[in-house]
Structure formats: C-alpha cells, structure tokens
Structure 1
Amino acid sequence: MSRGAAHRNRPWSRAVAAGALAVAALTLAPSADGTPGRTETAVESTSPVTEVTETEVSVRIPLPVSAGSHPARCDWLSYLRYRSSDGPSKSADADRVLVAQPGILEGAGAFDSVARNTVKAAAEKGRHIEFWALDRRSNCLEDNAGIGTGNAAKAVGYYYGGKQVDGREFDGFLTSGQAGWLAEVGLEQTVRDQYDLLSAELPGQKLRKEKVLCGGHSLGGVLTGVFATWDFDSNPATKADAGFNQCAGYFALDTTISTSLDDLNGTSPGPGGSLLPGLIPDTSIGYAAVQAGLRTGVLPRFLALPAVLNPETMNLLALSGLAAREAPDAESALLDSVPSNANIETTGRMLFSKNPEVFLKGSPTIRDFRLTNEAVLGAFMDDHSAPLAFIQTSVGFFDSAGGSGSGGAGIVDKNFPVSNSDPAQPALFGTELKAIPDEPGGPLYTWRNYDRVGAADDPVYRSASGAPFTAAAKEVTDIGELARSLSEQPLDFTEDYFPTRLVTDIQLIDDPQLAGKLVHKEGLTANPKVTFVAGDGILADHIPQDENPVILPGYQHLDVLTAAPVQNDGSRERIAAGLAEFTH
C-alpha cells in the first residue's frame, strides 16, 4: 500500500485518479535514521459525500527484530482518517474517534462509505467525530501502482504487459515463500499494532478512554474483542494498559465483540476445520506445530486459493472496480485484456458458470458475453451472482436493452455452485436466488443500479420458479460507490496477503501461549456497545440475541460497509445514523 508522502520513495507509490494525492506537510517525530515518524496526506475523492475531509496517515512503528527480514515499508502503520470538514483539525479535539478493524481479506478502503456517512450524520447532530479505518501491516506488500493510474488499460499494461508506472515494472504477485515474516504476524502483533498506533496518535490513556470507540467488521469484531481483553504490559495487576481501557465503547458491523469465532459460525471453521476447503490449515495439530509449519513454509504464510481468493484475483476485483468507475456503461474490454492463465480462467468459471455442466466444460466463459463494466463488477460481487456470501453486496441487478422480464434478454437461473431449487443451500453461498446472462455473443448486458430496481421501467426478471430475482427492498448499495471504494482509495478495499497466522491464532486462542495475554475477560462487557447485523447476510441467524443486534433488512455482509446514504425507501442509511447516535 502507499505510505505517507515523506517516505514514498518506493516506485509504486499510488496516485489517485481523481487527482493525485496532495501532500499535507504534516511530518512529526523523525526516527533515528532521519526519516519522518509520521506523515499525513490529503486524499482527493469523487465521493458524493463532500462534507468530509479524508487523509491518509502513516506512522513509523517498526516491527520487532524477531519478525525477521521484511520490507522497510512494512515498518509503517497506516489508516484512513475521516473527519468533518468544518470540525477540529486535531483528533484529540474531536468529540469521538471511531477506530475500525477490517475483516478477513479486507483493507481500510472498504470502510469508505460507512465512514463518510457516519461522520456526516454526526455533524448533522452537531457533533464532530472522526472515523479511522485501519490497514493491517500485511497490506504493505501490495503493489497498487497500476490501479493508482486511474486508467484500466494502463493498469492492465502494468500488471500484465511489462509497462512501467513511475519508472518501475511490476515484480509479480508474491508467493508464500517470499513473505516469510508474515509467519510472525498473528494476534499479538495485530493487537499490539492497534495499541501502539492509538498511543502514538492519541497520547494519554485517559484521553483514549474518553474519546475512542473501538470496533470492526466481520473478523474485525473478534480482533476488537481480543484487543479489549489483552494485557499490554505483561502485568495483569495494572489495568491502565488493558485494551478495554483504551476504548469508551465498542461497535460491531455484522460481527460480535468476542474472542472466539463461535458467534460467527455462519462462516467460521470448527476446530481443525476450514472456512473453505484448503484455505485455512488444519489447526488440530496444535499451536507449536502450526507455528513451526508457518515459519518453515510447510504451511502457507498467507491465505490463498487457486480461484476467487488469492492476490491476483483480489487485484482483479480492484481492476473491475476501476473499469466500472472509469467507464461504467461502456462494453467491457477488461476480461479480453487480462491473460488467459489458469488462475483467472478458473476464477471466471467459478464466478460465471450457469450450472455444473458449464463449469466442467469450461464453455461458454464470461469472455463470451457482452457486458458493461458495471455488469462485470456486479457479476463478481452482487448477491444475486457472486457465489460466496462474504464478498456479496446488494448493488442492483443485470439488465439489457430489450429485456422483457421473466427470463427476457437471456437472464436465467444460475445453478452453480448450488442450485436455486436447493432448499438446503449452504450458508456460505448466501440466501438469494442467483442469476446469470444466458446469451453469449448476444445483447449488451447492462447493470440496473440499486435505486433503479423496482422503477417503472424495471422488467422484473424472474427465476424459473416464477419468483422475482430481487426487489427494491433488497438493494442497498450504489454500484458506482462500490467501484469507487475498490479503486480510488490509497489504502485499498482488499487485503491481498492476509496472514494465515492471524486466523490460526484465533482458532487456537485457548493455547496457554495466547490465553495468558487475554487476561482481562471483563473487558468484553466493560464498555457499552452497539451491534449491527446484515438481515440477509450469512450471520443473521447466528448473532446471539443478548447482543441486542440492530437487524438491517436487505443488507448482505459487505453492505454494512458500502450501503448508500439514502436507501430505496427514502430513509437515511441506518448504520451511519446508529453509529452517529452511539457517539453521544
């Protein structure tokens, strides 16, 4: 990821398409080698929420020597800072500071919409708050120079054509063997990073206890729970350093504030199991064996599958977001311009096969269809198309000129990986009927945005069962804003190199080497909290009722981050409104 302006000497520094990042000359606390200890850089955004000032903040907090050899840029911690444009310039003077941990495979940029909406909603109530979207250290390994050009063709040329950006060629996506230091990035390093960052940015424990609200999305809720119970000075008798005493309250976005994955059992593995086959190593071998496997490279240092979930396909999501932002209604050339390698082809078949027969045959492929750039992005991430619930958003539906509804324009049931007629559809694939274009080489398939579903000109496409695939109440996110969040932010939406150890540590959290740090169990209930749950998401039936969750009808797992400020019924987005109220 890009880091602050003063140490952006690495050639793949990112330039935002809407206007290059303007340097805000705020550099503090030089380190021993003379480099600045902090940088803050203005972010120019095309967001329609214009009353919010966004900056990228980077603070030099080196990894311990025990982490081993690692890139110098990974000695920096970064976050996106959102604040009221007419509010105080100093974080310490804000009424509240919300600090958010991302979920699995997720970066700071994923919070852009909810951060902006929340800051604006609070300002309308006369309160000037800040929202800090954290980036984990592993994001430092990503090369976003191609996306940063703001041009999809240039980006593809950089990643696949040997073209230079800022005088540098792309070195390729990293392998596990090239990221050995990630074996040391587990729970302890992650919560320590949050503690050190808060201590550096808001000096004074009493100030943090008064101002900071700690929370996160998905796995970020569990990380917040771990943070709350962690003892940071290795002396349980002293509690000023305890995680819960760095926070005035907690917020959970489609998650719970806990120290276990049990509450997230809509997606979580059981002991020794896996979120997806082959994604998370078997932890039944025990803590010591897992650590040895990570350190020797027997186990992968970051999570990856040969299709859908790996650094190249995460980058493909950003590319599709960039193309959709740059030319939303243009016929997509993206999939014809990226190479036909095994990884991309397998991903395409996984995401865009009508049924098992098409998947096995490998034809027709997504390349055989005429799709706009927005329709490609929708195919990848909409809840009526994407096969994996934890990457789903509710951004609208396929459409086509001349569509007549009831399967018109060749929009039919998508019965892969599971069938729409299967009443026992696994939660991993979501609950919505899936749809897919069915006329290769035929009409240009377009995208009907969330706020055009149910409009007078909506043909109301239907499943073979006769049921409409979707309705206005089930659509909550603007696809244009999703595209912007995926491709415009200097700290991006995804986490391409998610450390395996972070998840295995959570699965093995009762091991004495970890449990001895989570000594302040009272921390989970020491502060007030608010919990928001996606009503159509994979966790809707798994969040305990004693959490008093605010259920959000129509929302999917990512919608809690990306939902539009004004919903289809004319109401304000409920999470932003609820978080703003919680800051009082």
Structure 2
Amino acid sequence: MGRPPLPLTVLAASALVLGTVAGPVSAREADRSETPVPSGSPVTDVSESAVRVRVPLPASAGPHPQACDWLSYLRFRHKDGPADPARADRILIAQPGILEGAGAFDSVARNTVSAAAKSGKHIEFWALDRRSNCLEDPTGLQAGLKAKDTRLAVDYYYRQKEVDGRKFAGYQSNDQVRWLQTVGLEQTVRDQYDLMVRELPDQAARKRKTLCGGHSLGGVLTGFFAKWDFDGDPATTGDAGYNQCSGYFALDTRIATGLPGMDGQIPEEWVPLVQFGAGAVQAGLETGIVPRALSAPAVVNTETMNLLGIAGLAANLDPGGLSDLAAYVPSGFNQDMTYRLLFSKDYPTFLKGSPTVKDFRFTNAAALGGLLDDNSQPLAFMQASVGFWDGGKIVDKEFPAPNDLDELGLGGLSRLLGKDKKAIPDEPGGPLYTWRNYDRVGAPDDPVHTSKDGTPFTSAGKEVTDIAELARSLSEHPLDFTEHYFPTRMVTDIALASSPGIADDAVHEGGIEANPILNLEAGDGLGSSDPQPGDVIAPGYQHIDVLTASAVQNGGGPEPVSANLAAFATR
C-alpha cells in the first residue's frame, strides 16, 4: 500500500533559486531542504545541490536514527535552467550500484546535463542516495575538504578529534543497525516512488518528463521498480512503476529483475544462505547471525569505504604530494590486511607480509590510482581506467591471480577480476612513484611499461577517466561516492524474489517493455559479456568508467556515455 502524501506546500521549495538558499532547513520548508554544493568540476555550466525530503520509515522498521526518516539525492541542473524541476525538459533519476552512493554519478551527471544544454534543452539529473546512507558520518571528510587538510579527516575518524564540537561515534555495529534488516527490495523501490511523488506530484508530468535507470545493481532495482504496483490494487495503473517514467537507462547493467550475464540469477556461492530459503535468511537477519550490512574482514566494509573517501581527499587536495595515509592512519587488522591484499606483488609477498605498501613512496594520486585503477584493483566492479603508474620499475602483479588467466584456462575469472593485466611498483625504498593521468598515456614521454610477455599493460584507448575528477568525486560531495552500510537484505531479496512475501507487488509483467530502454555498456566492464543489439558500447571502459569518464576523451572526442544519454533524454 502507498503512504499518504505529505502536504503539497513542501513542494514550494522546488521554486527556490539555488543561489539564494540560506541553509539546510528554513521555516518555509519543514519537510524538505535544498542546499547548494560548491564544486571544483571543470564542467562549470552545471549547478549541484543536495536535497533532503522527509519520508519516515514505517513503524515496523523499529528504532532507528531520526536522520533515516529522510531521503536524499544530488540534484544536477544547468545553471541557466529552471529552478522548478517541473519545468525542466527532462529529469533522469538514477539508482546507484552496490556499495555506491549518489556522489558516484558526479561526472556522468554533469557531462549529460551540459551536453543536453548544447542542443538547447535544460534537463536535470537526480542521483539517489539509498536510505542506509543516513548512517554515514561525513563530518571529518567535509571538515578536511574545507580546511584543505587530509590529516584533519584522519584525526576525526581515528583520533577522536572534535570538529565543531562533534566526535566520531565509531562505525555502527551489527546490533546498532538492526533496522536495516527491514530495508530490502520493497522499501528501496517504495522510497524511489515516494520521493518522485513528493518532488513531482503530478503523475502525468512524471510519466512525461522522467527517465528512470541506474548503474550496476541500479538497473536491477529499476527493473523491479518498473513492475511494482504501489497502491496495492493492480487494476489501477497510475501508480505502477512503469507509469512514473517515460523511458529507462542502464549504465553497464540491464533493466531486468536479475543480474545480466548470469541467467538472471545471483550465484548461490555468492550468498550461500539463500539456498536455505527466505525463512532461513529472515531468521538469520533477525538473530544477527547474518550481518545486516554487507561486510568482509577487509577490502569491502564500512571502514574501507570511508578510507577510499579519505584517499580521494588527499589526491584532490595535493595530488603530487607524498602520500602518508598508510603511515598516518593508525594500524589495525582491517586496513593492514586491505593494504596487503591490494599491494602484494605475488603469493610469497602476501604470505611474508613484506614488502608492505609502507615500504614504497607514492604521490597521493598514485596511491588512489593503485586503489581503483583497472591495472591494479583486483575486483572488476571497483575498477576505473584512470591512467598508469610512473616514476620507477613496474612489474606484473600476480596476486590474487596470475595475469595469464586465459593461457591457464581460467578466463572465466575475468568477470570477477577484470580483463586487464595487473601491475605493481617493484622498488621498495626507491623512487617516488607518480601517476600518469589518462590523457598522458601514450604521450611522447610515456616509458610504456610492459608485462612479462612483452605487451604494454595499457594504451591511450584504454584510459578514459581523469584521476583528478575521480578524486574530486570521492571527496567533494555531502552525499558521498560510496555506500558504507549496504543492506544485506537487498541482495537476498533479489536472489529470492520469487519467494512469497518478497516481491509480491512486482505484478506488472509488461512494465519493463512498456518504455524505451537505452543500454550503455562498458566495453571491458561487467556488461561486456552479454552484448545485445542496440547497445551503446564505450570502448575501453571499465565498470566504474561509465560514471566517471572525462567529458573530453583521448583524441579530443566527446564522452560517449553522457553524449548518448543526453541525446536519449532530449528526443
């Protein structure tokens, strides 16, 4: 059943001119706030604001922080566009992927809005933040950004240093996030619907003006949204998900109710508990045996997601400066094991634990590149093409898997690990390793580092994202790039969607086919294994690049994802 709408007076805030908004909440708008977000983006004709709308959780969610009764999104619009979103030519509404927040859409949103303006259309891009992001504390990162001091952020999160009288309360435990066990598929699609109704109360306008889509898991959520019935009466279709959108867009994903390239299913080995059924999963969540937020001992958890933001802040403020994060962040199992997993050259190095990342000298940009570049980061769903190492000897990174997977008959692992060969610095205690940005790969001064088989690790055609822009996206937004507390219930609900009580309201079987779809796939990303007629393929792109690629590509051409998305939105 749908919830009753809030008073329509809250929608008057849509008419505010962003430059005149004085603060996050005014007397005029008790249930909505919109705050301008300053930006260092080179795409200067796009304005950004952070919007919060009060949409309380149901009582069945149980005790939860008051902040979690609000939904948030980043609103990108052209600086000359209308302040009232109802007057925009089109609005794109995007669901993030797994472990992803609204800030991840920064580049693709700006590039798309700017490209549309060149054709005379003023469109908006709304990057959604899922409800669970209310648990994050951005105080340290925002203070570090304001003071231009990365150590201030580290001190806040690790040394109990106060910022404006506030101390970091620590990362939330499994018991503290008990309410997340109720935040699954149904709550997430309903949150999107409720937000759209609050911001655009005219259903006909929503149907005419909005395009719904997302990145990665966001395509699956959009697929369910399209089929969902929100008033509990399938005979009335004005509330149906497909009647809130005029079309769909998929960013290295599909608009579907299952994962692309896997016959629509989440492999049981990814979430072993699902083989025991929905009842066992629910019991596991209620007792706390199953973590309520997706987490691993290292690499993928709440703390490491926050550390990515801190690394982005350092690279944003001082890209060429000597990185001291590995030394300045206090030692602990989580961060030490993460460094060991990400920066070990081979299995002997990993087992010995030496040399460590602390034995090398990196610039802040190189440290960030080592964390997320497709020639370094071992997990395909976290990879971007931001350039390559420079400044010293580079060798093959053979951990956690060798670079010759195809020759060993293990090519199937590339879906998990990515297709590009991994590389790593090999001179501990030696030179300062720097980062060669995407647009300097293949330049006359490029030493062209080669793999053990004699082939270059990368080339200009494989590099698409500006590391400076990636650093800015990771650290600049009040709604950040990553999702620290991703609800486990979301994954299990999708895996068990055919079980009674999970997706019972996804009844409009023709909902996905009811509207046009634009598929924008990364040429080397997760969607590359399942090409379909009509797909727009971005050559050389990795999974994250569809969000972060630079507006100007190597060779001077336009960025294809945003160019095609703008064309789709302005038809």
Please state which band the TM-score falls in when normalised by the shorter chain. Answer: over 0.9
**Aligned counterparts, 1:452-491, within 5 A:** 452-491=440-479
Give the deviation of 1:144 after TM superposition.
1.1
2:528 aligned residue: 540
2:305 aligned residue: 314
**Aligned counterparts, 1:350-389, within 5 A:** 350-389=341-380
| Maintained 8 Å contact 1:412/1:437 | yes
Give the deviation of 1:367 after TM superposition.
0.9
Structure 1: state its 5+ residue gaps: 1-19, 31-35, 275-279, 401-408
174, 188, 201: which one aligns with 1:190 = 188
The reply on whether 1:175 has 2:166 as its aligned counterpart is no
1:98 aligned residue: 92
Rounded Cα–Cα distance in structure 1 between residues aligned with 2:57 and 2:164: 28
**Aligned counterparts, 1:159-308, within 5 A:** 159-261=157-259, 263-265=260-262, 269-270=266-267, 272-274=268-270, 280=271, 282-308=273-299
| Maintained 8 Å contact 1:28/1:37 | no
404, 411, 418: which one aligns with 1:430 = 418
2:110 aligned residue: 116
**Aligned counterparts, 1:380-529, within 5 A:** 380-400=371-391, 409-423=392-406, 424-425=410-411, 426=413, 427-529=415-517
| Maintained 8 Å contact 2:523/2:540 | yes
1:82 aligned residue: 76
Q: Secondary structure at the match of 1:350?
A: helix
Give the deviation of 1:542 after TM superposition.
2.4
Rounded Cα–Cα distance in structure 1 between residues aligned with 2:23 and 2:543: 35
Give the deviation of 1:172 after TM superposition.
1.1
Amino acid at match of 2:91: V
Rounded Cα–Cα distance in structure 1 between residues aligned with 2:131 and 2:530: 30
1:13 aligned residue: none
552, 556, 577: which one aligns with 2:538 = 552
Which digits, 9 at most, give the CA deviation of each residue in 1:340-361, with x for residues without a partner?
1111111001110000111111
Rounded Cα–Cα distance in structure 1 between residues aligned with 2:430 and 2:496: 52
1:8 aligned residue: none
Rounded Cα–Cα distance in structure 2 between residues aligned with 1:341 and 1:287: 36
| Maintained 8 Å contact 1:214/1:247 | yes
Which digits, 9 at most, give the CA deviation of each residue in 1:371-403, with x for residues without a partner?
000000000000000010100000000000xxx
1:69 aligned residue: 63
Rounded Cα–Cα distance in structure 2 between residues aligned with 1:581 and 1:458: 36
Rounded Cα–Cα distance in structure 1 between residues aligned with 2:216 and 2:27: 33
Q: Name the CA shift for 1:373/1:317 in 2 (closer, same or farther; >3 Å).
A: same
Rounded Cα–Cα distance in structure 1 between residues aligned with 2:262 and 2:446: 37
Q: Name the CA shift for 1:21/1:94 in 2 (closer, same or farther; >3 Å).
A: closer
Rounded Cα–Cα distance in structure 2 between residues aligned with 1:385 and 1:28: 50
The reply on whether 1:23 has 2:22 as its aligned counterpart is yes
Rounded Cα–Cα distance in structure 2 between residues aligned with 1:253 and 1:557: 9
| Maintained 8 Å contact 1:454/1:460 | yes
Give the deviation of 1:267 after TM superposition.
11
| Maintained 8 Å contact 1:266/1:542 | no
| Maintained 8 Å contact 1:273/1:283 | no
| Maintained 8 Å contact 2:258/2:265 | no
Which digits, 9 at most, give the CA deviation of each residue in 1:540-560, with x for residues without a partner?
0124x25x2111111000000
| Maintained 8 Å contact 1:29/1:38 | no
1:5 aligned residue: none
Structure 2: state its 5+ residue gaps: 1-18
Q: Name the CA shift for 1:187/1:28 in 2 (closer, same or farther; >3 Å).
A: farther
1:147 aligned residue: 141
Rounded Cα–Cα distance in structure 2 between residues aligned with 1:24 and 1:299: 40
Q: Secondary structure at the match of 1:448?
A: strand
Rounded Cα–Cα distance in structure 2 between residues aligned with 1:471 and 1:41: 41
Q: Report the identity percentage.
A: 60
Question: Aligned Cα RMSD in Å?
Answer: 1.6
Q: Name the CA shift for 1:382/1:22 in 2 (closer, same or farther; >3 Å).
A: farther
Q: Secondary structure at the match of 1:513?
A: coil
State the TM-score, normalizing by the size of structure 2: 0.93
Give the deviation of 1:266 after TM superposition.
10
| Maintained 8 Å contact 2:94/2:214 | yes
Amino acid at match of 2:40: T
Amino acid at match of 2:46: V
| Maintained 8 Å contact 1:21/1:44 | no
Give the deviation of 1:422 after TM superposition.
2.4
2:320 aligned residue: 329
Give the deviation of 1:515 after TM superposition.
3.9
544, 564, 569: which one aligns with 1:578 = 564
Rounded Cα–Cα distance in structure 2 between residues aligned with 1:266 and 1:447: 39
Amino acid at match of 1:85: K
| Maintained 8 Å contact 1:53/1:83 | yes
Give the deviation of 1:410 after TM superposition.
1.7
Which digits, 9 at most, give the CA deviation of each residue in 1:50-99, with x for residues without a partner?
10010100000000000000000000000000001011110000000000
Give the deviation of 1:173 after TM superposition.
1.1
1:50 aligned residue: 44
Rounded Cα–Cα distance in structure 2 between residues aligned with 1:57 and 1:481: 22
Deviates more, 1:415-424 or 1:558-567: 415-424
2:10 aligned residue: none
1:3 aligned residue: none
